[in-house]
Structure formats: C-alpha cells, structure tokens
C-alpha cells in the first residue's frame, strides 16, 4: 500500500499541521505502509507536475493550515493543477483524507473545501481531521489528541485496504453537467507533457513572447491588401480534410513569408479556405513554412509542434487540438 502526503502550509516550525502529519506518517509506517511526503512549498516552481505523482498511490493525504482565511495559496494551486493536468482516469481509484489545522478560524470549512474539491475531481474522500490549536506545546502533550490522530491514520489504512465504497454525491453530478467543459480533455500522456511545459518558466515566457508577436503580426497583416498568388496550402488542407460530426470552428494561420493570413472555416462537412482579413477566428496559429510543410507531409503533428514550441497559438486549446483530427495526416515513422 502506498500513501502520499501533500502538505500545503508554509513549513513553519510551530505549524500544528506539520506535527499532525508527522504523527500520522509514523503510524502508517508502523502499519507497513509506503509513505512519501511532498512539501508543496518546496516544489512551488513545479506545482503543475505534482499531480503526476499520483500514478502509484492508493491513497493520499491533503494537509494544510488555516492561518487567516481558507486553505492557503499552495494547496489551492495544487488543486488547480490536479484539475488541469491530473490523470482523470487514475484519480477515481485514489482515496483522499483531508487534514486541516487552524491557528485562527475556519478549519471545518477548510476540511470541507478539500473534500468537495476531491469529489469534483472524481476521487473518494475519507473522513478527515480538523482542529483549532492555540498553543502547540500544550497540544502535543495532550494524550487524548495524540490518540485521535493515531486513530485517524488507522482509519485511512482500513478504508484503503477494504476499498470502502461511498454513495454518489451531488458534486459528481455538478462535474458531469456543469463543469465538464471547463477542464482540458487530454490523454494522461498529454496532461503530463503539458504540465511539464507549464512548470518550465523559460518555455512559458517564450510562449508569451510568441503570442505577443503573433498578435502584433496579425494586426499588421489586417492592414495590408496584397493579393496572394497561387494560394499556397489551400489544396493540401482540402485534400486532407476529414469532417467531424457536430464540429464547427475557425482557424487563422499566420504563415511566415506570406503577406495575408490563411483563414479556414469548418462547419460539419463543409470547409471554406481563403486568404484575407478575418478577426473572429477561434484559434490563431503562427507557423513557419518549414514547420507547416513538415506537418502537411506527415513528419510531425500539430499537437507535437505546439508542445515543442515550433507553433505558437492563442485561443481555445481544445479547438487547437482538433487540428490533428479534422486534417488526417499520415505521420511518418
């Protein structure tokens, strides 16, 4: 059995949550559980990649401290990363126990926040532990409190080992009916790759610069009236077009070396391709002729080109991802 602990506090010596987590870690190890702790503040530059550590976990503990209001920034960022980049096929099999200690007010609300978040992600929350601590030394010396902490650790062990089932909740219904369009519909491999890029400051900075350059280039192109001879790439896109039932979108390609943008509008089985001024595209793509030639010849996919920075884009990410489906290109080995 593997349990992973994610501590979202600031790591202060007098943080009561650290004491509780350490106590629970000791009890779990006595039960021969493989325990690994991640102090989120030590991974603040790579929070987006932390959800990938769920892969071999049977259960997790989300632990944080309410110092003045709410669960704190590190834990909130971690939950955001779980929603955006976590493996949605793995999370439902993971039990989560929330641990929230408070030095002010709001420990119950914090515990409920963590439980609700995990349910919306698709996982199964376990009965958690929350409490108010005024003086840490007094708290540590109280044998009744220590016994409660030990029992909570044992409870998590039993829940995981017995694979206890939970009744359906309204949070799951909310996810299915209201929130289903808010997350990125990525495969686990794509989620892991994207999370690594997001946590890479150099890559993110380069993407922002590319998008700014793309927007500036687009504005300049809109003011030009040059005609495009032979209309390159129009036949290639039409020949590789594969209609997708119920899918409609528009793409604007800013191709280096070509004075006017290439506009592609798709409506179910219909495709319209033209060069000219358009300002209502769902996705704007900046690409060089070399990269576009490689994509259209099957040497790489649109998705791979975007992930590696060979293509810059702004707009709806899901619509961008559909390029590899609506233009079926045989990728060379």
Q: What is the pLDDT of residue 85?
A: 87
For the cut 60, the answer to whether the pLDDT of residue 221 exceeds it is: no
Best-predicted range by mean pLDDT (57-66, 255-264, 272-281): 57-66
Q: Which percentage of the chain shows pLDDT scores above 70?
A: 81
Q: 217 φ, ψ to 5°?
A: -60, -40
Mean pLDDT computed over 124-148: 95
Query: Cα–Cα distances in Å, from 325 out to 144, 145, 203, 245?
Result: 60, 57, 26, 11
Q: What is the pLDDT of residue 5?
A: 97
For the cut 90, the answer to whether the pLDDT of residue 223 exceeds it is: no
For the cut 50, the answer to whether the pLDDT of residue 274 exceeds it is: yes
* From 25-34, 76-85, 100-109, 173-182, the region with the lowest mean pLDDT: 173-182
Q: What is the pLDDT of residue 321?
A: 86
Mean pLDDT computed over 157-172: 88
| Mean pLDDT for all residues in the chain | 86
Q: What is the pLDDT of residue 24?
A: 96
Mean pLDDT computed over 100-128: 94
* From 1-5, 33-37, 245-249, the region with the lowest mean pLDDT: 245-249
Alpha-carbon distance of 32 to 1, in angstroms, equals 8
Residues 6+ apart with CB under 8 A from 116: 171
For the cut 90, the answer to whether the pLDDT of residue 118 exceeds it is: yes
Alpha-carbon distance of 126 to 131, in angstroms, equals 16
Beta bridge partners of 315: 283
For the cut 80, the answer to whether the pLDDT of residue 143 exceeds it is: yes
Q: Between residues 224 and 237, which one has the greater pLDDT? A: 237
For the cut 70, the answer to whether the pLDDT of residue 44 exceeds it is: yes
Is residue 314 very low, low, confident or very high in pLDDT (cuts 50, 70, 90)? confident
For the cut 90, the answer to whether the pLDDT of residue 209 exceeds it is: no
99: three-class secondary structure by DSSP: strand
Alpha-carbon distance of 310 to 285, in angstroms, equals 11
For the cut 90, the answer to whether the pLDDT of residue 222 exceeds it is: no
Residues 6+ apart with CB under 8 A from 182: 83
Q: How many CA atoms lie within 13 A of 210 on its CB side?
A: 21
Is residue 181 very low, low, confident or very high in pLDDT (cuts 50, 70, 90)? very low
Domains along the chain with CATH numbers? 2-177 (3.40.50.360), 201-326 (3.30.1050.10)
For the cut 90, the answer to whether the pLDDT of residue 139 exceeds it is: yes
Alpha-carbon distance of 64 to 62, in angstroms, equals 7
Q: Between residues 276 and 72, which one has the greater pLDDT? A: 72
For the cut 60, the answer to whether the pLDDT of residue 180 exceeds it is: no
Query: Cα–Cα distances in Å, from 93 out to 2, 67, 88, 121?
Result: 13, 31, 10, 11
For the cut 70, the answer to whether the pLDDT of residue 317 exceeds it is: yes
Q: Between residues 196 and 266, which one has the greater pLDDT? A: 266
Contact of 281 with 252, CB cutoff 8 Å: yes
Mean pLDDT computed over 58-79: 94
Closest CA to 211 of 318, 309, 319, 322: 309
pTM recorded for the entire structure: 0.64
One-character DSSP codes across 213-256 = HHHHHHHHHHT--PPPSS-TTHHHHHHTB---TT-EEEEEEEET
Contact of 309 with 207, CB cutoff 8 Å: yes
Q: Which two tokens stand for residue 127?
A: 């009965």
42: three-class secondary structure by DSSP: helix
Q: What is the pLDDT of residue 168?
A: 82
Query: Cα–Cα distances in Å, from 31 out to 26, 62, 98, 249?
Result: 9, 20, 20, 55
Is residue 105 very low, low, confident or very high in pLDDT (cuts 50, 70, 90)? very high
Alpha-carbon distance of 206 to 198, in angstroms, equals 11
Query: Cα–Cα distances in Å, from 100 out to 130, 205, 254?
Result: 5, 35, 50
For the cut 50, the answer to whether the pLDDT of residue 186 exceeds it is: yes
Closest CA to 311 of 254, 244, 242: 254
Q: What is the pLDDT of residue 185?
A: 58
């Amino acid at each position: 059995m593997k349990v992973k602990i994610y501590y979202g506090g600031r790591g202060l010596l007098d943080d009561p949550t650290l004491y509780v987590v350490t106590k629970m870690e000791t009890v779990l190890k006595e039960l021969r559980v493989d325990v690994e702790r991640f102090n989120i503040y030590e991974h603040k530059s790579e929070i987006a990649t932390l959800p990938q550590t769920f892969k071999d976990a049977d259960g997790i503990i989300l632990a944080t401290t309410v110092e003045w209001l709410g669960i704190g920034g590190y834990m909130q960022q971690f939950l955001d990363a779980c929603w955006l980049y976590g493996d949605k096929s793995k999370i439902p099999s993971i039990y989560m126990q929330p641990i929230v200690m408070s030095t002010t007010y709001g420990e119950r609300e914090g515990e409920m926040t963590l439980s609700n978040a995990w349910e919306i992600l698709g996982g199964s929350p376990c009965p958690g532990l929350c409490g108010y601590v005024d003086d840490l030394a007094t708290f540590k010396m109280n044998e009744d409190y220590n016994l409660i902490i030990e029992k909570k650790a044992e409870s998590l062990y039993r829940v995981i080992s017995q694979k206890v089932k939970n009744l359906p909740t309204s949070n799951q219904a909310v996810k299915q009916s209201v929130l289903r369009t808010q997350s990125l519909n990525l495969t686990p491999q794509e989620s892991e790759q994207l999370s690594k890029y997001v946590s890479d400051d150099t890559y993110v900075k380069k993407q922002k610069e590319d998008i700014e350059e793309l927007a500036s280039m687009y504005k300049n192109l809109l003011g030009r009236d040059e005609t495009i001879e032979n209309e390159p790439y129009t036949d290639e896109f039409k020949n590789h077009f594969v209609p997708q039932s119920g899918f409609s979108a528009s793409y604007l390609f800013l191709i280096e070396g070509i004075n006017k943008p290439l506009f592609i509008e798709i409506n179910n089985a219909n495709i319209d391709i033209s060069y000219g001024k358009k300002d209502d595209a769902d996705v704007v793509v900046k690409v060089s002729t070399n990269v576009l030639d490689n994509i259209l010849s099957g040497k790489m996919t649109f998705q791979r080109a975007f992930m590696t920075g060979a293509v810059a884009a702004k707009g709806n990410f899901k619509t961008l991802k559909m390029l590899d489906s609506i233009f079926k290109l045989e990728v060379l080995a």
